[in-house]
């Protein structure tokens, strides 16, 4: 009798990881479900209880329904130290980080695999919408749900022991499978917001550890047009106005000037000033992007540097399921750079830029100015 391969599956209580459990079991794997407890501060607005308890209860129901063992792993200490604390440090520097990328790189995949080896499992699995083919990471079949942007720091070694069961399915298909199998979470809304923390008012969240510090808002010509309450709370490309926490003084402009849509164009942490510009202003656009902490999934970065790289045509993405932007990757003067075919708005320091060739995820890095 052939021994079945054992898989440790991260079950969040959502429909995606639940269907992933079902698919793995159908494929003949011995599935073990695990709930990762990484954040207990978020509360259920109705009960006041920690939200993770509700999510774990749903995950447990699915595990019982599928007759698979289920356990809970507590990584809250590691998550707070390596993801949340780091996020606050970067915001204090005026940089907008991407905690979901850090979460996957530092917590989810390494700690899940460490637990899997202790349990003598052959693989780990998650409900991410991505695919693996020939040990390469590919975008999901459902482009609208593709999550490769958050996984660009995964390694080739990670791919050898990782499974993504729902990558070849659309979200509609996943929900249909859940309904047919009478899963209690078949219509559950997908999680949004920060990894494990959920949807929050980011500004209020940051205020807990970063005090307000008022400063000037300037127009592109350097004229003062308003006041902000903390440069850390705002990101490049963010719209300004009363609805968004900042009011621009309309009396500073001539009546003819368009003041309906203004956006953050630059931030200067030293002078504590924000430069804002009206929609369409040239200062909002950026074509050249420098990349730090550059990572390639299937290639060696050091070899690429030594290969006299002149330019490689790639597709770039600066936000999850954002537009795939035709661009050129180059290496010069010790830095990797992306030159976009067409300038875009909303390029923010600290955010991830992920590179693709067709469906393949090459890797990426952190945007720096």
With beta carbons less than 8 A apart as the criterion, state whether 96 and 85 touch. no
Residue linked to tokens 């299937």: 298
Assign residue 61 the CATH number of its domain.
3.40.50.620
Residue 154 lies in a domain: no
306 and 276 in a single domain? The answer is no
With beta carbons less than 8 A apart as the criterion, state whether 39 and 62 touch. no
pLDDT of residue 256: 47
242 and 339 in a single domain? The answer is no
Weakest-pLDDT range from 20-29, 108-117, 201-210, 330-339: 201-210
On the question of pLDDT at 46 being above 50, the answer is no
pLDDT of residue 44: 52
Q: Is-above-0.85 flag for pTM?
A: yes
43 and 189 in a single domain? The answer is yes
Residue 139 lies in a domain: no
45 and 185 in a single domain? The answer is yes
Q: Which of 280, 310, 334 is the last residue of a domain?
A: 280
29 and 171 in a single domain? The answer is yes
pLDDT of residue 47: 46
On the question of pLDDT at 259 being above 70, the answer is no
CA distance between the termini of the chain: 59
Residue 331 lies in a domain: yes
| pLDDT interval class at 265 (50, 70, 90) | very high
Weakest-pLDDT range from 232-241, 254-263, 270-279: 254-263
Residue 303 lies in a domain: yes
Domain count for the chain: 3
Residue 335 lies in a domain: yes
Give the whole-angstrom CA distance, residue 236 versus residue 282: 14
User: Chain centroid to CA 81: how far?
Assistant: 18
Question: Taking the CB of residue 252, how many other CB atoms lie within 10 A of it?
Answer: 13
With beta carbons less than 8 A apart as the criterion, state whether 27 and 145 touch. no
Assign residue 312 the CATH number of its domain.
2.40.30.10
Residue 16 in tokens: 């995606």
Mean pLDDT of 202-222: 90
77 and 91 in a single domain? The answer is yes
Residue 80 lies in a domain: yes
| pLDDT interval class at 237 (50, 70, 90) | very high
293 and 273 in a single domain? The answer is no
Beta strands in 199-324 (DSSP E): 215-218, 224-228, 239-240, 262-268, 273-278, 285-296, 312-317
Q: Which residues are catalytic?
A: 103, 195
61 and 195 in a single domain? The answer is yes
Residue 156 lies in a domain: no
| pLDDT interval class at 187 (50, 70, 90) | confident
Residue 197 lies in a domain: yes
Which one, of 280, 285, 278, lies nearest residue 258 by Cα? 278
275 and 292 in a single domain? The answer is no
With beta carbons less than 8 A apart as the criterion, state whether 323 and 341 touch. no
Domain extent, residue 40, equals 6-127+165-202
Q: Which of 261, 280, 299 is the last residue of a domain?
A: 280
With beta carbons less than 8 A apart as the criterion, state whether 98 and 353 touch. no
Weakest-pLDDT range from 48-52, 127-131, 285-289, 294-298: 48-52
Give the whole-angstrom CA distance, residue 133 versus residue 202: 37
Which one, of 196, 264, 233, 274, lies nearest residue 88 by Cα? 233
Mean pLDDT of 64-87: 94
Q: What is the pLDDT of residues 317-368, one digit of tens each?
A: 998 888 999 999 998 888 999 999 999 999 999 999 999 999 999 999 999 9
Q: Which of 260, 280, 300 is the last residue of a domain?
A: 280
Give the whole-angstrom CA distance, residue 80 versus residue 196: 11
| pLDDT interval class at 253 (50, 70, 90) | low
Weakest-pLDDT range from 36-40, 57-61, 195-199, 278-282: 195-199
């Amino acid at each position: 009798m052939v021994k079945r391969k054992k898989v440790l599956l991260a079950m969040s209580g959502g429909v995606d990881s639940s269907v992933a459990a079902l698919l793995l079991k159908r494929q003949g794997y011995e599935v073990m479900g695990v709930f990762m407890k990484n954040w207990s501060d978020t509360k259920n607005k109705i009960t006041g209880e920690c939200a993770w308890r509700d999510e774990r209860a749903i995950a447990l129901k699915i595990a019982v329904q599928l007759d698979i063992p289920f356990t809970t792993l507590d990584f809250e200490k590691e998550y707070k130290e390596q993801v949340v604390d780091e996020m606050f440090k970067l915001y204090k520097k005026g940089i907008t980080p991407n905690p979901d990328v850090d979460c996957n790189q530092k917590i989810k995949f390494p700690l899940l695999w460490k637990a899997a080896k202790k349990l003598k499992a052959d693989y780990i699995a998650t409900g991410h919408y991505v695919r693996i083919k020939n040990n390469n990471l590919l975008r999901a079949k459902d482009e609208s749900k593709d999550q490769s942007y958050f996984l660009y720091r995964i390694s080739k070694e990670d791919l050898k022991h990782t499974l993504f069961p729902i990558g070849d399915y659309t979200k509609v298909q996943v929900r249909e499978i859940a309904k047919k199998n009478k899963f209690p979470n078949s219509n559950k809304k997908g999680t949004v917001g920060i990894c494990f923390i959920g949807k929050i008012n980011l500004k209020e969240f940051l205020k807990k550890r970063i005090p307000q510090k008022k400063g000037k808002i300037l127009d592109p010509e350097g004229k003062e047009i308003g006041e902000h309450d903390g440069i850390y709370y705002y990101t490049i490309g963010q719209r300004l106005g009363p609805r968004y926490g900042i009011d621009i003084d309309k009396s500073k402009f001539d009546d003819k000037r368009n003041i309906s849509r203004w956006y953050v164009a630059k931030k200067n942490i030293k002078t504590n000033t924000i430069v804002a510009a009206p929609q369409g202003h040239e200062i909002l656009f950026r074509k050249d992007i420098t990349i730090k902490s550059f990572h390639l999934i299937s290639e060696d970065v050091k070899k690429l540097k030594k290969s006299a790289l002149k330019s490689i045509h790639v597709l770039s993405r600066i936000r999850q399921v954002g537009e795939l932007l035709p661009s050129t990757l180059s290496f010069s003067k010790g830095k990797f750079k992306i030159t976009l075919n067409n300038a875009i708005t909303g390029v923010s320091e600290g955010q991830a830029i992920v590179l693709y060739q067709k469906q393949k995820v090459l890797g990426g890095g952190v945007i720096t100015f």
